[in-house]
Structure 1
Amino acid sequence: MIHATYLPRRTLLAAAAAPLLTGCSAVQVLDALVPRDNYRADIGLAYGALSRQRIDVYQPSRSAAAASPRPPLVVFFYGGNWTTGQRADYRFVGEALAGAGAVVAIPDYRLSPGVRYPTFLEDCAQAVRWAVNHADRYGADPDRLVLMGHSAGAYNAAMLALDPRWLQAVGLSPRRVSAWIGLAGPYDFLPIDEPMTRAAFEWPATPADSQPIAHVTPQSPPALLLAADRDDTVDPDRNSAGLAERLRAAGVEVSFKRYPRVNHVTLVGSLGTPLRWMAPVRRDVLRFLGLVAS
């Protein structure tokens, strides 16, 4: 056993921060500890007329941009059971990816109980259209559009990637999505037991085609599915493993990875600088994006 006094200071700091990830202040802790000198950000841009229809864009620093002149465009959707969340708390995700060369857009979207399914998907589709329309402004390659999300946000990413209705409704071809990434997403969760999820999807009137797993076809884009072994919120076997199996059966390129040391929240938390020791999530995401981890 290694005595704690011999651990690097960064590891001790991360170990101290890790328990905070069980609470709602976790992302604020991560944001306070990540670097600020390897990206540029445009904050609070409007992709629609409503107050929740705002988006933040993270660009590589000039040195990073020079190494990757046409980086991928990643649109990241945060989780929160479709009832909570705000883009301002996910700067650590923007830094994790923009610091390695990606252009990252993180939108807010309307939440339950103010709205119900599928309104949050409609907002997410509008945000994607805005990101594609502004890709040139930020130096991103609009043909390397990658949708990404955690938990409920992974559901949003999956639905936009797999079900053509949502992007078509905003004038985008579903083929614009070159790939998608899901972290601990719920992809097959009927019947619904959790009260807030019931409200968001108006259970028991929830349509069967609200489930991402119902939309897998041989034309589905490649996927990276990441899951935590210690996930007590979203069953990784039924959801991530089940969707990976369905995609493979359809002949779709998919990579599925599970991590033994993280839970539902620390899975995405490990993208942040202080918690990267917990799981190589950032490394695996960057490799999938064709970028090199720094």
Structure 2
Amino acid sequence: MLLYAASDGSGLVQACSADYQSFCQDVKPGGGRVVACLRKHLAELTNSCRDTLRDIGPAGGDAPAVSTLIPAAPGSTLRDVSYGADPAQKIDVYIPDHPDHAAIVFMAHGGGWEFGDKAARTVVEPKAAYWRARQVIFVSANYRMLPQAAPLDQAADLARAVAYVQAHAQAWGGDPARVVLMGHSAGAHLVSLITVDPGIVSAAGVQPWLGTVSLDSAALDVPTLMQARHLPLYDRAFGKDPAAWATASPYQQLKTRPVPMLLICSTERATSCDSAEHMAAKIAQLGGKVTVKPLARSHMQINADVGADNEETTAIGDFLHTLGVG
């Protein structure tokens, strides 16, 4: 729907009627004036209007996404930004008050590859506030879930989201090269898989990033996990084919030195720290930089409490400091 190619009149006003009345009712349609006006208020628009604007392109060619054209307001939150056509392929972007070539923390939620949401309290709070206060952009991503998408497809979704973030970072006051990936549980498995599998990265167009934080994944070595006693959720995620286990396993796909990694694990779980140590040993053999941080915290606490005054926040802050992120 290239409304701008034909007109910015009634069609666009109908799609963004409330926003038009709030911000642009004195603007006469035609010549791109309504589009330009709405873009000036991008951070304040309804989600439906913002989504419509993303479809608008200039006559005779494809348009860049809106956020590449008009910077988002400092201190604003961009919600449900689409990085793909599927309804699940969306991100929320939390922009600090004074972004200036800001670093970006990209978060992938957990949920056993079956559920979870980018806006869940335990995913966002207090993380977004913590990094915003440090003038770091915080991005929280959704991705397709089982049974619609297997873990490899989910990793591809997240890689695509990272590429989108890098492509739009400058419009938010961010630096596309200063991205740190972070995920919890299933999300930790997925960001770890992205980190070690260059095929996933290159297919999505991801550019180099600074490092990766894994928050308590027990699925870093999927074949070992599946050959031992395990929860049924892993069967639903990885199936019964050993070849598929290896393809979706960060340990098996780790063949060259990755970006620096921080592997936080819960000592209250039977396999999490063993999995992290096993992965770290291989990274070290390949000449990579890796830190394993065992914590006497529950699987859920290691995620939900990031950003509060505790060991996991300190460990992540120290790791980011080594990457040049304050």
For normalisation by structure 2, the TM-score amounts to 0.69
| CA shift for structure 1 position 218 | 4.3
Q: CA deviation at 1:211?
A: 0.7
Q: Which residue of 1 aligns with 2:19?
A: none
Partner in structure 1 of residue 58 of structure 2: none
Matched, 1:55 2:84: no
Of 204, 212, 231 in structure 1, the residue corresponding to residue 241 of structure 2 is 204
How far the C-alpha of 1:238 sits from its partner, in A, is 2.6
Opposite residue 238 of structure 2, the aligned amino acid is F
Task: Report which stretch shifted further, 91-100 or 161-170.
Answer: 91-100
Letter of the 1:255 partner, please give it.
Answer: T
Distance in 2 of aligned mates of 1:91 and 1:51: 20
* Of 255, 261, 282, the match for 2:313: 282
Deviation at 1:96, TM superposition (A): 2.7
Q: Which runs of 5+ in 1 are unaligned?
A: 1-37
Match of 2:162 among 108, 123, 128: 128
Query: Distance between the aligned counterparts of 2:316 and 2:96, measured in 1?
Result: 16
1:169 & 1:133 partners in 2: Cα distance? 15
Shift of 1:150: 0.7
Matched, 1:116 2:144: no
- State the distance in 2 between where 1:257 and 1:73 align: 22
Does residue 154 of the first structure (1) align with residue 154 of the second (2)?
no
Q: Does 1:271 align with 2:306?
A: yes
- In structure 1, the residue matched to 2:232 is 195
Q: Measure how far apart 1:57 and its partner are.
A: 0.6
User: Which structure has the larger Rg over C-alpha atoms?
Assistant: 2
Paired AA for residue 160 in structure 1: I
The residue type equivalent to 2:304 in the other structure is G
Q: 210, 214, 233: which is aligned to 1:178?
A: 210
- Partner of 1:257 in structure 2? 293
Structure 2: unaligned runs, 5 residues or longer:
1-73
Answer 1 or 2: higher relative contact order, Cα 8 Å, separation at least 6: 1
Asked whether the 8 Å contact 1:115–1:200 carries over to 2, the reply is: no
C-alpha spacing 1:150/1:223, structure 2 compared with 1 (3 Å): same
Query: Deviating runs (4+, > 4 A) in structure 1?
Result: none
Taking the TM superposition and a 5 Å limit, the aligned residue runs for 1:43-122 are 43-62=79-98, 65=99, 69-89=100-120, 90-92=123-125, 93-122=127-156
The structure with more strand, counted as a fraction of residues: 1
Asked whether the 8 Å contact 1:116–1:199 carries over to 2, the reply is: no
Q: Distance in 1 between matches of 2:290 and 2:178?
A: 17
Give the match for residue 222 of structure 1. Answer: 260
Q: CA deviation at 1:100?
A: 2.1
- How many residues are treated as equivalent by the alignment? 241
